Chain A
Amino acid sequence: MEIWDLHVHLSGVPGDTPEARLGKLLEYAGRLGISRLCLSMGMKWSEDPTPEEFRRSNDEMLRAVRAHPDRAFGFVYLNPKHAKASLDEMDRCVRDGPMVGIKLWVAQRCNAPELDPIIARAAALQAPVLQHTWIKITGNLPGESTPMDLAELAGRHPQAILVCGHTGGDWEVGIRAIRPHKNVYADLAGGDPAAGIAEMAVRELGAERVLYGSDAGGRSFASQLAKVFGAEIPEDAKRLILAGNLKRILGPILERKGVRL
């Protein structure tokens, strides 16, 4: 069964260079049959990056994916607080470069109007937006989004392809929050391998809106893959979650970039 991983980082991985770290990630991924990785953010993370910081992060990602163009795709890391610089960076890395998606983390909650030009540009480029989300009973960071925030954003941008990172962590709430918005996908990455997450996501959203991701290197490929492998869902649903949906989402932008699958 073909496997593409939506949600991978260069952190938590041995290696002194982006190329070396991606090489190590691919080694581990290969042991579990994962053929393609979507990566975002560089070797050193900033929660609220300046334009200089996110450009440096994206430069590292460009180095990594250029070293393994047949196995890795890049998502450009942006900060909506710096809208003009973020749009310029999208042009550099996605429109004119090899990257295929957008990654937003915890700099600003995603229901803020500052995101609108970024999301509109992403929709025009047919690039999916992977937005980190979490619902923490221990308290979110000031700029950390919830799935409810993402649902608000989705209502303003029905043409955009939005991915609810980690399905909000508290996935039983996160799935409900994004359910009404057909352009929002559930990313299974990053939480504990709790039994039942894939079953509920398929039941409530349909298998076509569920994506496998790992959040490696902080997480294990194995623990996250198990959410799908071990789920009591049809094999066809597993195929969609593990690769089919992501291939469909990325198909148009990959085709424009001349990437043949």
Chain B
Amino acid sequence: MNPAGAPGRPGATPTRREFLASAAAAATAAGGAALAAGSPATNAADEDRPGFVDVNVNLGRWPLRRLPCDEPDRLADKLRSRGVVQAWGASLDGVLHKDIGAVNDRLAEDCRRHGGGLFLPFGSLDPKLPDWEKDLDRIAEVHRFRGIRLHPNYRGFRLDDPRLARALSLAAERRLIVQIALVMEDERMMHPLLRVEPVDPAPLAALVARIPGLRLVLVNALRTLRGESLRSLISAGNVSVEISMLEGVGGVAGLLEHVPADRILFGSHAPLYTFEAAELKLKESPLAEDPRHAISRGNAERLLDSLPAG
């Protein structure tokens, strides 16, 4: 299984050498500066390891199975024990529930009450629901979330739906990071009454190119998005991917041959996936310190810090 597909690289993004040079300069310039609001809080884990910003965490219950860490305190304990300094969390209720407003209210409350600031909530949105714009308003202005996570296949819309284009435009105007989950689990083992196709990302490149300011993070993407499709999407705009569904030996090193290091984020898909899977992928691949740090947390921090604090 080659996760990254055929050789070649997008032309609109910096080379790895350029990235490493700029990352090193940025790190020097930022040294010692206090972390801005919304940036990862320092903790004991920072003392002896670089720490992770996990951009793909799920809060709540998966409807088909209890998971070892599906209580927020247990999940927080687990993530902290592995060195996670910030977790971008969306609600699993957002996969299926129709009352999205209540889903986001509970997410905000859970992230306030649990984890001691570890969780950065990403709201749910369904542009097929009537008056969905109000949900987006509340996400941005009431909850002051920093982003949203969409599950198009479970919510029943395609990426060429004009309502999605409008949702992405409005999210970009509100300076929200947009995450799109392409899958949630292996389609071969889905519950027979809960089968969905992976999201077809084909319309995304054109969509991204015409929405200024859009910051897009594809989660659970690298099972189905590879090769030229991945490269053209990455080069279409400010698009990043995370590694939770990256497979193959030396997968991260292989991905770096095709995707610039500044577009790769650390994501675990916990608690559906065992957190250690993503952590160990960084160990399996021989990586220089700069790209390792960038993937582990630097890229996510930069993406977040490019937005106004909530």
| Chain A interface residues (CB < 8 Å from chain B) | 12-13, 24-25, 28, 31-32, 134-138, 169-170, 172, 191-196, 199, 216-223, 225-227, 229-232
Contacts and interface: CB of A to CB of B under 8 A. Distances in A.
A220 B284 contact: yes
Given A136-B188, A194-B273, A229-B276, A220 B68 contact: no
B61 to A, nearest CB: 13
B156 interface: no
B274 A193 contact: yes
19 contacts: A24-B249, A28-B249, A169-B188, A191-B186, A194-B273, A195-B67, A195-B69, A195-B271, A216-B248, A218-B1, A220-B251, A220-B284, A222-B251, A223-B247, A226-B274, A226-B279, A226-B280, A230-B277, A231-B68
Main secondary structure of the interface of B (DSSP, over half): loop
B249 A195 contact: no
B272 interface: yes
- Which 10 A-B pairs rank lowest in CB-CB distance, beginning with the nearest? A222-B280, A230-B274, A226-B276, A226-B277, A193-B277, A230-B276, A218-B1, A223-B277, A222-B284, A170-B189
Contacts of B68: 195-196, 199, 231-232
A51 to B, nearest CB: 28
A106 B272 CA distance: 29
Interface residues of B, number: 38
B212 interface: no
Contacts of B67: 195-196
B283 A220 contact: no
A28 B124 CA distance: 38
Contact of B249 (A13, A191, A192, A196): A13
Contacts of A28: 249-250, 284-285
Nearest to B274: A230
Most chain B Cβ neighbours within 10 Å, of A12, A13, A193: A193
Interface in B273-301: 273-277, 279-281, 283-286
Nearest to B2: A12
Contacts of B195: 137
A254 to B, nearest CB: 25
Contacts of A170: 188-189
A192 B186 contact: yes
A158 B284 CA distance: 39
Interface string B168-198: 0000000000000000011111111001000
B246 interface: yes
B280 A192 contact: no
B1 A193 contact: no
B270 interface: yes
A7 to B, nearest CB: 13
Main secondary structure of the interface of A (DSSP, over half): loop
B277 A221 contact: no
Contact of A219 (B185, B248, B283): B248
B49 interface: no
Nearest to A200: B65
Given A28-B284, A31-B286, A137 B190 contact: yes
Contact of B283 (A194, A217, A222): A222
Contacts of A227: 274, 277
Contact of B247 (A13, A138, A172, A220): A220
Most chain A Cβ neighbours within 10 Å, of B191, B249, B275: B249
Interface in B46-77: 65-69
Nearest to B67: A195
B247 A229 contact: no
A136 to B, nearest CB: 4
Contacts of B286: 31
Given A191-B186, A196-B65, A216 B281 contact: no
Contacts of B65: 172, 196
Contact of A217 (B188, B245, B249, B272): B249
B189 A137 contact: yes
Most chain B Cβ neighbours within 10 Å, of A13, A137, A218, A231: A137
B272 A31 contact: no
B249 A25 contact: yes
B247 A219 contact: yes
Nearest to B186: A192
B254 to A, nearest CB: 9
Given A170-B188, A232-B68, 11 more contacts: A136-B188, A137-B188, A191-B189, A195-B69, A196-B65, A217-B1, A220-B277, A226-B274, A226-B275, A227-B277, A230-B275
A204 B197 CA distance: 32
B16 to A, nearest CB: 19
B282 to A, nearest CB: 8
Nearest to A173: B189
B246 A192 contact: no
Nearest to B78: A230
